[in-house]
Amino acid sequence: MNFYLSPRSVREIKNAALSLFEPEELTGLGFIMRYFLQLVFLVTCLFYGRSVGAQTKFRVIADKNIVAIDDYIRVQFHLDNAEDVTSFTPPVFNDFIKVQGPEQITGQLTINGAVNHYTSFGYILKPVKKGRFMLPPAKAVVDGKLFQSPSLSIVVNDHGAPKISVDTEDENVSLDEFILRKNETAKKKIQENVFVKLDVNKKSVFVGEPIVATYKLYTRLNSESRITRRPSLNGFSVVDMIDPESRDVYNETWHGKEYNVYILRKAQLFPLQEGEFELESMDVENTVSFIREDFAGDEKTIWRKLKTVGEEGISPEAWTRETVSLSSLPVTINVKPLPPVTTGNNFNGAVGVFRIDAEIPEQKIHEGDVVNLQLTVNGSGNLPLLGSPEINWPENIETYDVKIREQVDYSSTPVSGKKIFTIPFSPTKMGRLDLPPISLTSFNPATAAYATSASKPISIVVLPPAKKPAKKPEAVKRVLQSEKPVPASWIAVTVFVALALIFIVFRLYQRRKAPIMPFPEKALNEVPTALAPVIVPQRIFVSPDDARPFLENGESSDFYRTLDRSIRRMLNEQFAISRLESPEQIERKLLKLDVSANDAADLRHILEDCEISSYSPVVLDEKMKDDFDRAADLMKKLQEKDPVSR
């Protein structure tokens, strides 16, 4: 079986590697142990990633294949079942001007229980000359494998070939909406027949209660649209419910008129804290084609040509085009606080309806064995945000890191499914072991009340130590029992470990040769101990200036890695947040430390940009400069607060 790394694993490996070369000021045995533990963590992450089952597909999608010389074309390079995209290389756009891009979209879609993690890179292009052109393939590295998109054929001519959606079965349908009369203006006709609308299923919710937000385009015209600004949705944890590249269309009647409706984005939003939050508008640029009345003539003749040969059967002079930008109206959401929790209830933020079960699958347990306690949380609500339930372990138990698996349907409202927590533990004393019920308290928004679910108590008998070696955790056991020859990858790991040990010894030698003094001023001035003044260490503010040289030289990978390092150092010194936390975990911790929702969300977005862009070979200088300025302003603002006591 081949093993691959999820984005979370990549993030952990990257942070471990960075901290490996930026250790704390330790000496002696503590220094060696720090490096050894980090090294073990790094190798473990590398070889125990999750297995990828679904097949990755690399598609290229264009909003049109025939385009006018003065028009634009939107091209999407879309990766299906691609959770871990480590690099993306676009084709060379020799015959086009790149107007915008790359715009990266990531998300996940669940259909009939199957989860599709997708990533899309979008570009807006403008042709430079007429003719037939072949857009070369793009390349991407997904889960360590190289994928290549198909080539794309594009025809550039004088007038393009926009499609008109007509009902070929109905001979009596009027073309009035496609004809621009002499007494009409294109802009006004567009405003009366095309609009963008934001629908929400609720405007008042509790913290953690999901909202379904749907951005929709309504049109009765022959329009070509592209999104020019997406909402940031600050203050919410976002779960997309549909593939953003889907082209599904349906009919809907609005104020007596029938429209074609396109879903631009549909997502469940989980509010992270109380207050009023505005769901921002989405801006959509629409280019609409009309037939001028002078050329319309007999509508039946026009209708017949459109059905048989399309727009190319009508003279280019007959068409007029108008481009307008439309926006949805913002919507304000009132997020109410959760009511006080009754003393004694074990509430960890679960909002919805949940049930918890516990079991120990092993039949016989010996003293010193490593066995698993499996907790399963079933239900619907903010399931993706749930952490491991609290367990009151009896004495003489050693526990290990929790493993989490999800089986979640993100297309249901609210999100439903189950989350499985596997906790390895080892009994250190034989005899009867009684594990009390494990409870999970959740808040049900429908009843506005708390409810507690508890597992059944578990009683087992721990037998004397077995004569055979103690059982190992499943992942380790699989490797130890393997009878296959040692793969080349393990040889590489061995070499890596050897080099790392040499590096550790060298650093230890350097530290012994030049010991670190906490107060160098005191050593330089040789102030006698009795007369030495009390030295109060001054607080040092962290800035992103270490990344500036890479910004000026256009070295995007080094720039984003250094910027990420500076931000995490600031968080560690200001808020005592570990450098190994994910952006989502950092956002949640900042909210608990009274950092505003906007600032916490902005910092999460910056850290996510650093992770994505550090592996992307294509990053515009303007974007790097904007990210640097945003990070500098936000870091300065956060460090103006009183630091958290450690």
| Count of structural domains, the chain | 5
Q: Are strands 194-200 and 319-327 parallel, antiparallel or unpaired?
A: unpaired
- The backbone torsions φ and ψ at residue 66, rounded to the nearest 5 degrees and listed phi first, read -120, 120
Assign 257 to helix, strand or coil. strand
166 occurs within a structural domain: no
Q: How far apart are CA 254 and CA 194, in angstroms?
A: 11
Neighbours of 368 (CB within 10 A): 18
**54 pLDDT higher than 80:** no
Exposure class string for 328-340: b at 16+ Cβ within 10 A, else e: beebebebeebee
Cβ distance 386 to 419 under 8 Å?
yes
Cβ distance 134 to 149 under 8 Å?
no
| Whether residues 258 and 295 fall in one domain | yes
460 occurs within a structural domain: yes
C-alpha 56: how far from its chain's center? 18
Q: Which two tokens stand for residue 22?
A: 């930026």
616 occurs within a structural domain: yes
pLDDT digits (tens, 9 = 90+) for 147-171: 888 888 888 887 665 443 434 344 4
Q: How far apart are CA 539 and CA 127, in angstroms?
A: 55
Q: Which two tokens stand for residue 559?
A: 């720039």
| Whether residues 88 and 33 fall in one domain | no
Mean pLDDT for the stretch of residues 563-591: 87
171 occurs within a structural domain: no
**What does pLDDT average to over the chain?**
76
Cβ distance 390 to 423 under 8 Å?
no
Work out the percent of the chain whose per-residue pLDDT is above 70: 70
| Whether residues 367 and 269 fall in one domain | no
Whose CA is closest to 380, among 439, 438, 333, 446?
A: 446
73-77, 91-95, 539-543: range with lowest mean pLDDT: 539-543
**419 pLDDT higher than 50:** yes
C-alpha 225: how far from its chain's center? 26
**590 pLDDT higher than 70:** yes
50-54, 55-59, 446-450: range with lowest mean pLDDT: 50-54
**303 pLDDT higher than 80:** no
Of 335, 360, 389, the residue that ends a domain is: 335
Q: Are strands 114-127 and 85-89 parallel, antiparallel or unpaired?
A: unpaired
Neighbours of 549 (CB within 10 A): 12
Contact partners, residue 36, CB within 8 Å, separation at least 6: 504
- In which band, very low, low, confident or very high, does the pLDDT at 4 lie, cut at 50, 70 and 90? very low
Instruction: Provide the CATH number for the domain around residue 373.
Output: 2.60.40
pLDDT digits (tens, 9 = 90+) for 485-518: 445 555 666 766 777 677 676 666 655 544 444 4
70 occurs within a structural domain: yes
Mean pLDDT for the stretch of residues 197-203: 94
Q: How far apart are CA 137 and CA 79, in angstroms?
A: 13
| Whether residues 71 and 137 fall in one domain | yes
488 occurs within a structural domain: no
162 occurs within a structural domain: no
pLDDT of residue 18: 45
Residue with tokens 């503590």: 30
> Please, what is the Cα angle at 288 between 283 and 289, to 5 degrees?
170
Q: How far apart are CA 550 and CA 624, in angstroms?
A: 10
Question: Which residues make beta-bridge pairs with 70?
Answer: none
| Whether residues 362 and 221 fall in one domain | no
Q: How far apart are CA 587 and CA 551, in angstroms?
A: 26
Whether the ω angle into residue 102 lies within 30 degrees of 0, i.e. cis, is yes
**Higher pLDDT pick, 61 / 9:** 61
**Amino acid in position 402:** V
pLDDT digits (tens, 9 = 90+) for 355-391: 999 999 887 888 888 889 999 999 999 988 888 888 8
Q: Which two tokens stand for residue 634?
A: 């936000």
pLDDT of residue 86: 85
| Whether residues 532 and 604 fall in one domain | no
* Residue 642 vs residues 281, 539, 541: alpha-carbon distances, Å: 35, 11, 12
Does this model's pTM top 0.75? My answer is no
pLDDT of residue 11: 47
| Whether residues 211 and 327 fall in one domain | yes
112-116, 431-435, 464-468: range with lowest mean pLDDT: 112-116
Of 127, 157, 187, the residue that ends a domain is: 157
**Higher pLDDT pick, 620 / 141:** 141
| Whether residues 112 and 44 fall in one domain | no
CB neighbour class for 484 (10 Å; exposed up to 12, middle 13-18, buried from 19): exposed
Work out the percent of the chain whose per-residue pLDDT is above 90: 18
Cβ distance 335 to 437 under 8 Å?
no
> Please, what is the Cα angle at 449 between 443 and 455, to 5 degrees?
55
Question: Would you give the DSSP letter of residue 289?
Answer: E
pLDDT of residue 20: 47
Question: Would you give the DSSP letter of residue 639?
Answer: H
| Whether residues 124 and 33 fall in one domain | no
Question: Which residues make beta-bridge pairs with 46?
Answer: none
Mean pLDDT for the stretch of residues 290-302: 66
pLDDT of residue 315: 66
C-alpha 380: how far from its chain's center? 21
pLDDT of residue 48: 42
547 occurs within a structural domain: yes
| Whether residues 181 and 330 fall in one domain | yes
pLDDT of residue 402: 86
**Amino acid in position 452:** T
Range of the domain at 358: 344-474
Of 314, 335, 356, the residue that ends a domain is: 335
| Whether residues 256 and 299 fall in one domain | yes
- The backbone torsions φ and ψ at residue 307, rounded to the nearest 5 degrees and listed phi first, read -75, -30
| Whether residues 296 and 373 fall in one domain | no
